[in-house]
């Protein structure tokens, strides 16, 4: 089942949204022009800080702007390109959330129902709801904290393993919960492992099948795949490089891995084109009803610049504009994928590096250039919040 609305309905929604929209949610047609030079400077800085390559794509009212610097493969020296596919890490969470919101539209899921109602006995607390899982307010401990306490040894331990969802949940349950259900926001990959279990229980199909039928095929995403437990990225792709914890140690090629440690929390492969298409469709109201999209966009504040909804992050930039999407960190890759609230301007950016906090922080600058335009003289943009590093265990983004 798909949820693609008609073009006429979408136009009506956009027209209405332009009538009285607050400044922080300004539609794409009143934003400053994207600053391509600024984007290019960000990418070059990421290279100086250790990323082999970096790239970005901006889609804006049908026009496309691309930028790239460095290499996709350190051995062949092939330049990185926006035609390359890559691992998107936790941007996968937005895909998983979309599937569950569609199931809510179909009356097969209630957001405020207990997870235990659908998956009896999985979790020790029957008070944990689906909404709390999708909003990282369940209190479930993030099992990746232990798994990747040391970046390279942790990765090598799991790169070829195939886990069951319940094995990953069991790793979380060995630890005390971070908070009572609903009491606080605490980012945890465990939540979206539970989301994967919910998808498979409610549909009787694999997560791969549901992504394919509900998102990939309807949107014609030609570069988007869920190949778990296969290790290779299909077709042309950027290789990913993991920075060891020990300063000066050589980069580790982390391209080939099962990503079984993440699955529905972080195993999707995509491209900058497809990510922009996906976010534009989501925020433009083409993947679910307006009522469910409103639920997804209902945010809990994380800090002064960030808030989190249901599998969807909101970032407020230095110019006051808020953008919606997700960040992603998986061994070898850092991803930013965000769009305006109406979905009409979108940015996807990638550095083929990980465990390098300087690169991760620098790549946030692509959002500033894409949505705020050229930097105003004498205006110092605030430093990004540390929560951009939370999409994987702390060790994956360590300075």
Active site residues: 90
Q: Are 52 and 71 in contact (CB under 8 A)?
A: yes
Give one DSSP letter per residue of 115-162, joined into a string: HHHHSTTSSS-TT-BHHHHHTT-S----THHHHTSSHHHHHHHHTT--
Half-sphere exposure of 275 (CA within 13 A, CB side): 36
Phi/psi region, residue 263 (left: phi>0; alpha: psi -120 to 50; beta: rest), is left
Q: Cα separation of 183 and 13, whole Å?
A: 34
Beta carbons within 10 angstroms of residue 25's beta carbon: 18
Sort strands 322-330 and 269-270 into parallel, antiparallel or unpaired: unpaired
Residue 150: what are its φ and ψ, rounded to 5°?
-120, 120
Beta bridge partners of 327: 336
Q: Cα separation of 350 and 362, whole Å?
A: 11
Q: Cα separation of 331 and 244, whole Å?
A: 11
Q: Cα separation of 172 and 188, whole Å?
A: 9
Q: Are 328 and 305 in contact (CB under 8 A)?
A: no
SS3 label, residue 170:
helix
Q: Hey, what are 199's tokens? A: 């998808």
| Separation in Å, CA 190 to CA 9, 102, 143, 256, 294 | 37, 21, 7, 23, 24
Q: Hey, what are 206's tokens? A: 């694999």
Q: Hey, what are 267's tokens? A: 């195993």
**DSSP type of residue 232:** S
Sheet containing strand 345-351, strands side by side: 63-70, 53-60, 345-351, 333-339, 322-330, 313-316, 306-308, 300-301
């Amino acid at each position: 089942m798909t949820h693609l609305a008609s073009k006429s309905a979408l136009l009506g929604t956009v027209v209405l949204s332009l009538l009285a929209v607050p400044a922080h949610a300004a539609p794409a047609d009143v934003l400053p022009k994207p600053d391509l030079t600024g984007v290019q400077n960000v990418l070059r800085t990421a290279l100086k800080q250790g990323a082999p390559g970096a790239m970005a794509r901006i889609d804006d009212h049908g026009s496309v702007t691309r930028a790239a610097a460095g290499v996709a493969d350190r051995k062949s020296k092939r330049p990185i390109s926006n035609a390359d596919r890559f691992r998107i890490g936790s941007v996968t969470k937005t895909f998983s959330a979309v599937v569950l919101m569609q199931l809510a539209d179909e009356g097969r899921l209630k957001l405020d129902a207990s997870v235990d109602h659908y998956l009896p006995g999985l979790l020790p607390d029957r008070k944990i709801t689906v909404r709390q899982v999708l909003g990282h307010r369940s209190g479930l401990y993030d099992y990746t904290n232990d798994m990747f306490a040391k970046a390279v040894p942790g990765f090598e331990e799991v790169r070829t393993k195939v886990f069951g969802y319940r094995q990953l949940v069991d790793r979380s349950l060995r630890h005390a919960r971070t908070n009572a259900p609903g009491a606080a926001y605490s980012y945890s990959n465990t939540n979206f492992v539970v989301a994967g279990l919910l998808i498979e229980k409610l549909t009787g199909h694999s997560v791969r099948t549901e992504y394919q039928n509900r998102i990939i095929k309807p949107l014609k995403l030609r570069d988007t795949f869920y190949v778990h437990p296969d290790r290779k990225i299909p077709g042309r792709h950027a290789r990913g490089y993991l920075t060891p914890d020990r300063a000066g140690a050589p980069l580790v090629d982390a391209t080939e891995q099962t990503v079984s440690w993440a699955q529905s929390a972080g195993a999707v492969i995509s491209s900058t084109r497809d990510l922009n298409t996906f976010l534009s469709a989501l925020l433009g109201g083409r993947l679910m009803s307006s009522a469910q999209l409103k639920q997804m966009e209902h945010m809990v504040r994380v800090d002064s610049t960030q808030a989190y909804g249901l599998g969807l992050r909101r970032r407020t930039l230095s110019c006051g504009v808020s953008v919606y999407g997700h960040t992603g960190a998986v061994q070898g890759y850092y991803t930013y994928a965000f769009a305006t609230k109406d979905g009409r301007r979108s940015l996807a950016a990638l550095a083929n590096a990980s465990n390098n906090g300087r690169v991760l922080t620098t790549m946030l600058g692509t959002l500033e250039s894409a949505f705020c335009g050229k930097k105003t003289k004498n205006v110092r943009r605030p430093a990004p919040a540390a929560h951009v590093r939370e999409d994987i265990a702390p060790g994956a983004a360590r300075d």
